[in-house]
């Protein structure tokens, strides 16, 4: 059936030949017939043909360009630091039946991880009971001893999170990573939706797509609720490292959509354990800071003394309870990739429940047996540095060279705590319209979760990241990945 698309003027390459046998396809079944919920979209693709799709793609690119939706690509040193956000016009569809366990699993996971962080910075029961090895925590770089026994406003550490999900060869959703520090991508989720509404308006009523555009409003509500001086008069700012950060577009987008100030560290000052914003009318006390700066750069008096990005004294003001920091300092202890392997046990320990969403199997390089196995099978593994993100310091075994594997072998042997390994899983695939052709690419999904203490809300959708390079499993935007709009369908 897919080859019939050739009649519409666009070549469909031999999908069966190019598709890895084990990969799950989001769009069509094993007999290459579109899945039932994709049928209306498939009929539209057939009617539109190459000319119609090309027109939609140009329209989308022009809109993104004119509205300045950009992303910084660190790996490209030749074409400048910014480029128009890469967006594929064909949406990904998630049925209500698929979404329900995802939503429940994410809520369960964030609830347990938040209790874990509180426990580690207070009683440390989970370490004393031997569920998580104490040395794993104490030998990591993410334990922030300066915030031991501090109670954050509202008792919540993980206010905002983005959890990376993949589908394995059987179509089962697995958690790949927990992003709990400063997860990015939510602005692109919203921009993708705005563009999709513009170029495919007829489908939103037909498909009953659940909205995501309300995210900034919900976020501002959550932030205001954390104000030590009450929500009504709360002064909220977004703290950014500045224009050279890869997610600067997102920082400015969220500040603009929430109607709050976007500030750099030099725009804030601490006096008497309070944080103030410098304005033309004088200093204005700040109650809540949505900080998009990592712990290391947040306060030079506590963390890195050479940092110029943060605000001297901000941690002292937070400790005194005069300002709320979102996410709370110290959350990195729970998304350390070495701790990731223990999340199922963490859920059982704090909630007395079985994990709803399984995790990708993970090998600890501090375990001699695990390490020997991984080093003997590097071609079939993904190696990750435990405290890195964005695809940095990662080895993709199947596409690596002998020299790269030797390099990572030396790194692992020199510092086993710094690395974990996971087996290569063929991420699911989806058709994309790329350079005038329909081709399949691997993808993942990053839903966003807001935690307000009594209530945890999962935004129905998320950022679908696409590996634009044929056959690649690297979907990270900072490494050249693209994106799709994600439609979660109502019942």
419 beta partners: 385
The count of other CB atoms within 10 Å of the CB of residue 4 is 9
Residues 6+ apart with CB under 8 A from 407: none
**Runs of H (alpha helix) within 27-95:** 39-66
Buried/exposed 308-319: b ≥16 CB within 10 Å, e otherwise: ebbbbbbbbbbb
Residue 1 pLDDT: 38
Reading the block at residue 482, the tokens are 């693209």
Round to whole Å and give the CA distance between 155 and 149: 12
Domain limits, CATH 3.30.1490.270, in the chain: 363-423
Helix (H) or strand (E) holding 137: helix 134-138
CB 380 within 8 A of CB 405: no
Using CB atoms within 10 A of its CB, is residue 21 exposed (0-12), middle (13-18) or buried (19+)? exposed
Whole-structure pTM value: 0.91
Helix (H) or strand (E) holding 420: strand 419-423
CB 208 within 8 A of CB 490: yes
Residue 238 pLDDT: 98
Residue 80 pLDDT: 52
Residue 83 pLDDT: 82
Measured over all CA atoms, what is the biggest interatomic distance in the chain, rounded to whole angstroms?
A: 72
Residues 6+ apart with CB under 8 A from 56: 48, 89, 199, 200
Residue 315 pLDDT: 95
Q: What is the mean pLDDT of each run of 10 residues along the chain (491 residues)?
A: 37 40 87 92 91 94 91 59 87 97 98 97 97 92 89 92 95 94 94 94 88 96 94 95 89 97 97 97 97 94 90 96 96 92 96 97 93 95 83 86 96 94 94 92 97 93 93 79 94 79
CB 106 within 8 A of CB 319: no
Reading the block at residue 348, the tokens are 């059982």
Task: Tell me the torsion sign for CA atoms 131, 134, 135, 138.
Answer: positive
Round to whole Å and give the CA distance between 314 and 269: 8
Residue 78 pLDDT: 52
Topology adopted by domain 363-423: Dna Ligase; domain 1 (3.30.1490)
């Amino acid at each position: 059936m897919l080859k019939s698309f050739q009649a519409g003027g666009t070549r469909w390459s031999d999908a069966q030949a190019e598709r890895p046998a084990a990969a799950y396809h989001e769009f069509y079944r094993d007999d290459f017939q579109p899945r039932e919920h994709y049928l209306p979209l498939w009929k539209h693709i057939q009617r539109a043909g190459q000319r119609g799709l090309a027109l939609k793609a140009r329209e989308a690119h022009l809109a993104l360009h004119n509205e300045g939706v950009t992303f910084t690509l660190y790996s490209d040193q030749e074409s400048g630091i910014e480029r128009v956000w890469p967006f594929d016009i064909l949406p990904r569809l998630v049925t209500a039946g698929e979404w329900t366990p995802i939503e429940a699993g994410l809520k369960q996971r964030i609830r347990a991880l938040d209790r874990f962080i509180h426990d580690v910075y207070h009683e440390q029961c989970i370490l004393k009971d031997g569920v998580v090895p104490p040395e794993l925590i104490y030998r990591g770089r993410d334990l922030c001893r300066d915030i031991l026994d501090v109670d954050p406003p509202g008792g919540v550490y993980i206010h905002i999170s983005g959890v990376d999900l993949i589908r394995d060869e059987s179509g089962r959703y697995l958690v790949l990573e927990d992003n709990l520090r400063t997860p990015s991508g939510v602005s692109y989720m919203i921009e993708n939706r705005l563009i999709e509404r513009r170029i495919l308006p007829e489908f939103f009523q037909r498909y009953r797509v659940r909205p995501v555009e309300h995210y900034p409003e919900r976020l501002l509500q959550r932030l205001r609720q954390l104000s030590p001086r009450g929500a009504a008069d709360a002064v909220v700012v977004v703290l950014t490292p500045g224009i050279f950060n890869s997610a600067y577009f997102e920082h400015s987008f969220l500040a603009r959509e929430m109607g709050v100030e976007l500030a750099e560290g030099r725009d804030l000052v601490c006096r008497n354990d309070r944080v103030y914003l410098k304005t033309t009318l004088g200093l204005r006390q700040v109650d809540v800071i949505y900080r998009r700066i990592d712990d290391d750069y947040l306060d030079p008096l506590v963390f890195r003394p050479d940092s110029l990005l943060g605000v001297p004294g901000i941690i002292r003001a937070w400790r005194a309870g005069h300002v709320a920091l979102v996410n709370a300092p110290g959350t990195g202890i729970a998304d350390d990739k070495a701790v990731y392997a223990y999340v199922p046990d963490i859920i059982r320990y704090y909630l007395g429940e079985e994990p709803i969403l399984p995790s990708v199997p993970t090998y600890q390089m501090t375990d001699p047996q695990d390490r020997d196995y991984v080093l003997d099978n590097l071609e079939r593994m993904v190696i990750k540095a435990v405290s890195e993100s964005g695809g940095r310091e990662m080895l993709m075994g199947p596409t690596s060279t002998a020299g790269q594997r030797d390099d990572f072998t030396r790194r692992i042997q020199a510092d086993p705590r710094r690395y974990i390994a996971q087996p290569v899983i063929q991420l699911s695939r989806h058709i994309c319209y790329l350079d005038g052709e329909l081709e399949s690419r691997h993808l993942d999904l990053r839903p966003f979760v807001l935690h307000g203490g009594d209530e945890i809300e999962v935004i129905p959708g998320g950022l679908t990241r696409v590996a634009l390079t044929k056959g690649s499993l690297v979907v990270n935007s900072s490494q050249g990945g693209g994106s799709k709009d994600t439609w979660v369908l109502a019942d």
